[in-house]
Amino acid sequence: MTTMTRDVIVVGGGIVGCLTAYLLAGQGKKVTLLESHSVGSHASGFAFGELGALEGAGLPDPLLDFTVWSFRRHATLAEELKASTGIDHQFQYCNRLMLAFDQAAVRTFKSHLHWQQKVKDFTVQWLEPEEVVRVEPQANPRSHGAVYVQRSASLEPYRYTLSAAQAAERRGVQIVLRRATGLITQGQRCLGVAYEGGQVQAGQVLLAMGPWSAEAGAWCGYQAPVVPLKGQILRLKLDNFAMSNTMHHGGSYMALKPDGLVWAGTTEERVGFNEDPTPAARDKIMKDLLDMVPALVDAQLVRQTACLRPLSSDGMPIVGQVPGWDNLYMGTGAGRKGILWSTGMSQVLVDLMLEGRTQVPGAAHLDPGRFKGK
């Protein structure tokens, strides 16, 4: 059996695990990252990749400040990772339209404008139907209007995760493709991690296991309230199709990506750990897509993918020290906003592991202890 000794062990090769390993190595820590499959092989590699910072769980309260901090950090970190690895993860700023197709949606969207328009990072305004079509000629002229967000951003999630992993390796992080099987413990301390064929001893351990975080409950006695939330995405091709904004409607989205394909999604399915693409999801996404952009009726379906996102019971990330343990940490539960929140989650983890505190705003709301006794 192989035994190694490191400063930190990270279990999980998604975006949170890779970024945290990269940042820790930048502080001189010797890090081993364990991943049972391959880096970015699940939700981090198959997400949509748009960094929508003005809607979703925890917004505006209590996570607006945390979300905006995470959004801002992507810009600097994206440049840093690209410079280190040369991988073009396609980070770019973009504008987005949140389309309304009934008066209930109009009322809901307008009710959020009062706080969205105060976030200085974005320009947010309401567009009437005729203005929507002027801004984006591909948009369905039958909409009732839209929220227009300027200077949002997007990236290609798999390339981004891969660049984080490779940049971490350049800093000395050791990536081991083995499945973790348990923790090595003594009292309230975690001494290391056992994996298939060996073990790693370390001073600190991070569990960044995505929807598989519940598996670690048997290892540490803390049952994270995380379930897999399945999401599916279509990639379509239509010759001579042009579009300058991303569009959203009813929980679905679509965008023309730098690869020349239209990406459209998504679903929110609670079906356990089934990752198979389904015809029902394809049809649901296509309906929402054609509601937004009727011209895509003739588009060719190139690929359909599915992934499992880690969703916490309150929709907010679980980030911090595991209750009852001196040196065991967890980062998971971000649901549909895992790519956006990954920068904030990773920085909080690094700060807590190195200093015992963090200046990232809103981090207190992410503490795993909030579920203790529930």
For 225-278, the pLDDT digits (tens) are 999 999 999 999 999 999 999 999 989 999 999 999 999 999 999 999 999 999
Taking phi over 0 as left and psi of -120 to 50 as alpha, with beta for the rest, 267 belongs to beta
Dist. CA 194–CA 191, nearest whole Å: 10
Q: 179-196, pLDDT tens digit by residue?
A: 999 999 999 999 999 999
Alpha-carbon torsion (338, 344, 350, 356), positive or negative: negative
Cβ-Cβ contacts under 8 Å for 15 (sequence gap 6 or more): 40, 44, 157, 160, 161, 164, 338, 339, 342
Structure tokens at 187: 């009292």
Torsion of CA 56, 90, 125, 314, to 10 degrees: 10
Contact by Cβ (8 Å): 324, 219: no
The residues pairing with 309 across neighbouring beta strands, listed in sequence order, are 229
Looking at residue 355, what is its pLDDT? 97
Does the pLDDT at position 283 exceed 50? yes
Alpha-carbon torsion (34, 35, 40, 42), positive or negative: negative
Interhelix angle 64-85/338-355, nearest 10 degrees: 90
Does the pLDDT at position 1 exceed 90? no
Place of tokens 């529930």: 374
pLDDT bracket for residue 214 (50, 70, 90): confident
Looking at residue 374, what is its pLDDT? 43
Does the pLDDT at position 293 exceed 50? yes
Q: If 0-12 CB within 10 Å is exposed, 13-18 middle and 19+ buried, where does residue 69 land? A: buried
Residues of the chain above pLDDT 70, percent: 99
Set out the domains of the chain in order of their start, with CATH numbers.
2-48+158-225+314-371 (3.50.50.60), 92-154+228-312 (3.30.9.10)
Dist. CA 40–CA 197, nearest whole Å: 22
Does the pLDDT at position 94 exceed 50? yes
Q: 307-316, pLDDT tens digit by residue?
A: 999 999 999 9
Does the pLDDT at position 334 exceed 50? yes
Q: 25-36, pLDDT tens digit by residue?
A: 999 999 999 999
Structure tokens at 94: 């973009």
Please tell me the pTM assigned to this model: 0.96
Does the pLDDT at position 159 exceed 80? yes
The residues pairing with 201 across neighbouring beta strands, listed in sequence order, are 5, 192
Looking at residue 41, what is its pLDDT? 83
